[in-house]
Every structure is written in structure tokens, then in C-alpha cells.
Structure 1
Amino acid sequence: MKHYVHLKSLNTFSIDVFAKHVVTAHNECALLRFWKKAYNKRTPVLILGGGSNILFLENYIGTILLNRIKGIFITENKMAWRLHVGAGEKWHELVTYTINKNIPGLENLAYIPGYVGAAPIQNIGAYGVELSQICEYVDVIDLYNEKKIRFFRAECNFQYRDSIFKNCLKKYAIVSVGLKLNKKWKPVLSYHELTHLNKDSITPRQVFNFINIIRQKKLPDPILVGNAGSFFKNPIVDTNIARYLFQIYPNMPYYSQKNGKIKLSAGWLIERCQLKGYMFGEAAIHPKQSLVLINRRKIATGTEIAALALFIYNQVADKFNIYLQPEVRLIGNYGEINPKKLFT
């Protein structure tokens, strides 16, 4: 497309689409200036980090605004370390940095792609730890009145892969995140792949290294194979639904939730539909991890990936009467598309 900017390298699915403009903000003033310029021209703006949790379904007619506000500032007292981190820092590099500084607490969240600014939106989590457990605050700019606002943890409405920011992406731009890491470190080894580790002798670096190895073994490298990690959320169901399913599938993995509900494994449900490795055009389900959809040779379209996701959704719904919800954000010509328009 003439005068349009290629986006293939700016999304980990490697979808070959274009945007009208791409600009990069290295500070809050630049971010606000770029956003206002596009807004005044009445063109849509998509603020993007690493593009690791999105699926472009078509070309984007507006401006892609890359948030690259950097900085890691650490203070401490006898009880905890406090980190103030710019939204444009890469998440895994932050985790590595803290481990190298002998600051534990982020090791279970190692090897998660993307940038720090995206972490609160999805309330990222892995291996028994969620961002909400360590997040103290999130700083945002209200793009319409240009005010900077600090949302403390209780105000963020963190839930499983959800937060207040997920529904306010057009209003707020996240510019920094505050984390609190307690000095009384206890390893979190509740996840089934970690339970064999010795909690009395394990170190934060060993947990960090172990999780890196696990994730590298089962998750494809987006540099080689286009993907956005887990495509669907793990479904959370009432206990009566879970009990019914356990009678039929006694070996079904599950995770009890604090609210009394039960989290099931979306990957397991997909596998039981005999879909592991299933291919749809150039899109496919990863042969090692059923929750990951891949752009096999980096030539699949976004609509191919979406069609495969819809097929999975219908297969799981037919077999289990459970309706998977995408974790990945769907982006159309003008911005984010409500997944209910596709997955119903």
C-alpha cells in the first residue's frame, strides 16, 4: 500500500498488514503530543508495546503509537524493594535485571513477552503468580484532559487476565508501573510443573532458570514462528459444572480459585478435541502446546488465525459446553474489535 507503513515486525504473530503512520514516543510529552496530533486529525490511534498480545485482522487506517518510555528506579527499606518502571521497558528484561540485582519476586513471570506497560492491562500471570500480587500502582495519562493519574492496586480492578485498563484503552495511556517486592522471599511452587522442586533449598535464580527452560521448550520463539503465546484464557467455571465434568473426565486438571470457582485448562480442553497440531491454511495449533496458535511460515493472514480460533471455540463448545474467550486482542481497520462479534 502506497505511503503506508509495514507492521509485520511490530506484531509477534508476524501478520503482514500496514498502518497509515507509525510514531515512537520516548517520553510522556511526546506520547501526548503524537496522540493529540492524530486525534485532532480525527484518525484512530493504537498505542502499542511489543505487539505480543494482538492479532491484526486487516490494515490499520490510523496511527500506531509505540510507547518506549524507559527507566527502572529502585528504592528499598527493611521490608521491601519498590520499583518504578517505565512502560517502554521489556518485561522479561526487567525480570532478568531484578534477578541479577538479587531482588527476588518476579522469577515466576520470567520469559513473558511484551512490555511493562501492557502487563497491568492483562494482569499478566504465570506459574502461580499474577501481576496484581506485586503491583502497587499504575501511572497513566488521561489523553483527553492531559492529567496524570495514579491508580493504586485496589483501584485497578485486577481480575484474571483483566483490569480497569482493558476497558479504558482509548482514554488512558499507561506510562509507568510501580511494583513492591517483599524481602521475606518465599518460592511459589504451587503450579504442577514446579511442585517437585525443594522449597527449602531452591533459590530465586533457580526458579527463574527453571521457568525459562519450561517456557522455551513448550512455547515457539516468535522470531521463528509467528504467535502471541496463549490465545485463549483458561475458563473459570462454577463448582457444579466442574463436578459434572470431573465425573466424566476424572483426570481433568483444575485449579481452585479464592472465590470458590474452578479454573480449567483451556489447553487440555483443546487437546481432548483432538486438535493438537491441527492446521487451517497457514495457521495451525502448535504441536507442543494446544493453547498457542501459530503463523507457521509467517505468511498467514489475521483472518486465517481468527478462523482457526473460531473453529477451536466451536469444537470445545460442542464437546464440553464451555465457551473459551480469547486472551489476544483483535485489531481491525479502526482499532480493537469486541471478541463477542466473532466468538458467539
Structure 2
Amino acid sequence: MRFAAYEYRNRRHVAVVEEDGALHALPGVGSLTGLLAEGGGLPELLAAGSAARDIPAGPHVSEVRLLPPLQPPTVRDFVTFEEHVEGVRRSVDGSAGVPEQWYAAPTFYFTNPYAVYGPHDDIPVPPGSNVLDFELEVAAVIGKEGRDLTPEQARDHIVGYTVLNDWSARDLQSAEMKVGLGPCKGKDTATTLGPYLVTADALEKYRDTDGFLRLALTADINGEVVGKDLLSNMSWTFEEMVAYASRGTRVRPGDVLGSGTCGNGGCLAELWGVRGRQDPPPLEPGDTVTLTVEGIGSVSNTVVAGAAPVPLPTGRRRSRERP
């Protein structure tokens, strides 16, 4: 089952999306995040969707503005594709290979839940950046709360999946990571989610014998394909990622966990690292990036000019006086 959040005639709705694009709105539901927060996970979501199908269809998906399928309380972005790590390290900091520590656990960072964009929204260039990049990912969405989960338990906590574009200001990211705290403003201004939340049961037919979802991934810029990969090239399953995320803490309904960027052109920085030059060039206003994931759909966003950065002074070198 596919769920969409959309705006129609200045009102927000959540609906089941039929194969022909017809929308069956869930009565009284204006937020998928809120619906998930009521608890129950996948069975309750499917029940709500089935009930909505008994109501006559409303507008067609082509007649509405699609919003992000949910507004997540948290967004954890993992890095689970070995090929991506190898290429981007060479591009961002000139390092070769994959750090041995990377293989120890599915590393992630928290990105900005307040900067989530819809599947067709324009994306402003981050203030102060001249090297904008996309990142092709798939995200799992948590449907019920859990703590210290095993991978087997974690499967019941994943309610569905959506496409994720982790927009990245590579020049800001490269400078920030020299401090040793990871990206902040390099990853802070835009994350695309959409076009739909596809429930976990609908993607089970793509699961391989090792537990990975074998979905085809494609990235194109202005209609030209620049990247192709399979989601099953991840080094950890989503269930393992959820288990790690829940270690010593909680995952809660609506939390989003990104797969990390796929390989073989899942972002420009990887290609730059492999080729030794910025080919294709960084994204500019007017460029349209379309990411497609088998079984889920496509997001297509156009880059537009962003705001100028508000000037700030550099850090002061202090005398270190003591009282």
C-alpha cells in the first residue's frame, strides 16, 4: 500500500494512492506522523488505509501538491555502501580506501528534521556554497517504539520505505570535517522525502535470501543518467540498522533512517573521487535531479538560487584569563 501527504485547495491530507493515481483520503488525518504516533505499527496503518478505500476517491495525484509523506521527529542518515565511502573519501579529503573501523558498525549521523522537502519542491542552494551535490538513498520509517532491538525484532518496527535525497554542500562539508565533528551546515539545509511511503509488506517480494531488498536505483541530472545501483549492495540490512539505532536508546514512530548513498554514481562526489575531476560539475540553479527507486517511485527537484550567508566573525583567539 502507498500513502501520500498532499496539499489540495489549501488543506493538507493523507491518502492511500491507487495504481492509477487516485487518492483516497483518510478521514480526519492531516499528518502521517501523527497517525503513526498513535501506535500499533504496520497492521494499524494497513487497516486505516483499507478503511479509506471504502470512501470514494478524491483528486488525482496529478492535481495536488505532494508533500513529504511525513514530517519525521528525527532523521538518522547511515553510510552503508562501501563503494560510496571509497569514492567520497577520495573526493572530500583525499584519502584512499575504506577505514577499517567502518566495517565495525553501521555508522550514522543525525541530520535536520526541520529541512525536509517534498518530492517536487525546489531546492535552494545552501548559503555560502558553490559545490552542491545530491545523494540517492532509500529510507526506512519506524512504525512503533522499540529499544535495544534485535534485527529480528526490528523488522516488525519498520512500517515502510521512501526515497531520500540527502542534499550536500561539499565545500562546506569538506571544511567542517577538518574540525573532527562531522558535517553540520554541509548537510543542514535540505533533505527530500517522497513521493510516497510504501508499506513494508509491499516490498517483501524484492527481498533476497540474505535479507536485503533488491531494488534498482537510478539518478539522473537534466534527463541524463549519472548513476545506477542496487539497494542490495548495502553492507547492513535495514533491520540491522534499526537494531543499532535502538541500542541504548529508543526508536519512535515516524523516525526516518536513511540507507546512506548508493554506489556507482549515487552522488557526484563519488564520481569526482573516481575520475579525479569535477565531472559532472556541481549542481547549479536550473538543474533538475531525479532519483528513482524500484517499487517506491521518483522524486524530482530543481535547484534554485539560495540566500546569501549572514556574515559572522571568525573565532576570537582569547587570552585565557582566569578569575
**Same fold (TM > 0.5):** no
Higher RCO structure, 1 or 2 (CA under 8 Å, sep 6+): 2
TM-score of the superposed pair, with normalisation by structure 1: 0.28
TM-score normalised over the length of structure 2: 0.29
